[in-house]
Structure 1
Amino acid sequence: MIDAIAECGSGYIAPSYEDLRSTHLEKAKGEVHENFSKRLSDRWKETWVTILSDGRSKSLLIMLSVASSKGTHLLKSLDISPHIDDVYYLFELLDSVVEEIGVENVVQVITDHLSSFVDVGGLLLKKYPSLFWSPCASYCIEKMLEDISELEWISNVLEEARTVTRYIYNNS
């Protein structure tokens, strides 16, 4: 980098902090995003994709991503706080992503576990019978493990494991 700056000569005026964090950063971000998304989207036709709707319940932020065997691409993130129970708003949001990707390129849609997303999944399946919809598997697994941990013999083992862990952390 220093060599590149030295090649510019003594009259070179460096961009300001404001230019670097706004204009130049946005330009570089756009170039990277365009090249990466173009490369991935060209391959979607041959590999097909999964649309991921990852919600963060505390902030009600939803991140819409496209995943394929060639990589994952974040399309957008939105604050859906005012619309969390509006099934038709959420449907339109996911429907627009399916349309953007191309229904012929989409195999499945994975959403949050909230009841409004279950209804959205039903609407998507009605409009696009070729799609497969499922709720977030990690949530389902977490709920199954909670149920399993309530079994008496497993809860005893877990409590003993917690006791051993507390002892190890509290005694160097």
Structure 2
Amino acid sequence: MTDIVWEHVTQVIDDKWKKASICNFCQKVIGGGGINKVKKHLAGIKEMEEAEVSTVKKGKRKSTSNLHPFFTKGCTIMSDGWRDVSQRHLINFLVYCLKGISFLKSVDALDIESNATNLCNLFAKIVEMVGEKNVVHMVTDSATNYKLVDTKLCERYPSITWSPCAAHCLNLVLKDLSELDIVGWIEKSNGYEADKV
């Protein structure tokens, strides 16, 4: 089966009689590299030039985030922890910036979910992926381990602020409300039975 990516480029033979692709959106000629190079172009990931690669190998290049030109200053990193059907603890990371929202990564956090130091290191890697200078805000669950992580992370990166997820907080409030005696009394007086729902 052919990859859907090929629908977004036109394959041609260049002047050196080598296969190349022309992006249907920006008309850029993408030479060599096959489907991976086309995918990187369509995703907007800039490939390093030969000179840059050699300086990285020599260790002279400083670590900067050129993961994606999509990320600009003023980014918010959002994390969403959840459990799949196998009860694995997964964390999805999304980045919001002026250009829109982008899914960044999903991590199986089963081994690190209860350890604040390991979670902090995971979040620090995410900040480095986006670029420390680009991130200004983080949004996570308001669980105790996440609060501790975000406190440590804000100490490590003073320019980053943290806030709990409003939807998560609202879910907790509604759960607490549903456990009040008055709610049980209202349910019984209206003929509501929990097992019928």
Q: Normalising to structure 2: TM-score of the pair?
A: 0.58
Q: Which runs of 5+ in 2 are unaligned?
A: 1-6, 12-33, 46-66
Q: Out of 23, 33, 44, which is 1:34 matched to? A: 44
Q: Out of 126, 137, 142, which is 2:171 matched to? A: 142
CA distance in 2 between counterparts of 1:63 and 1:85 reads: 17
- Given the superposition, is the C-alpha separation of residues 98 and 161 from structure 1 closer, same or farther in structure 2, using an over 3 Å criterion? farther
Moved over 6 A (4+): none
What RMSD over aligned residues (CA atoms) do the two structures have, in Å? 3.2
Report deviation, 1:117: 1.6
Structure showing greater relative contact order (alpha-carbon pairs closer than 8 Å, 6 or more residues apart) = 1
Give SS of 1:118's match: helix
Report deviation, 1:135: 2.5
Greater per-residue strand proportion: 2
Superimposed CA distance per residue, residues 97-129 of structure 1 (whole angstroms, 9 cap, x where no aligned partner): 222322232121112333222211110111122
Aligned to 1:55: 81
Q: When the two structures are aligned, how many residues end up with a matched partner?
A: 140
CA distance in 2 between counterparts of 1:151 and 1:83 reads: 34
Greater per-residue helix proportion: 1
Report deviation, 1:38: 4.0
- Given the superposition, is the C-alpha separation of residues 88 and 153 from structure 1 closer, same or farther in structure 2, using an over 3 Å criterion? closer
- Given the superposition, is the C-alpha separation of residues 103 and 39 from structure 1 closer, same or farther in structure 2, using an over 3 Å criterion? closer
CA distance in 2 between counterparts of 1:161 and 1:39 reads: 57
Opposite residue 33 of structure 1, the aligned amino acid is: A
Aligned to 2:99: 70
Give SS of 2:44's match: helix
Q: Which runs of 5+ in 1 are unaligned?
A: 9-22
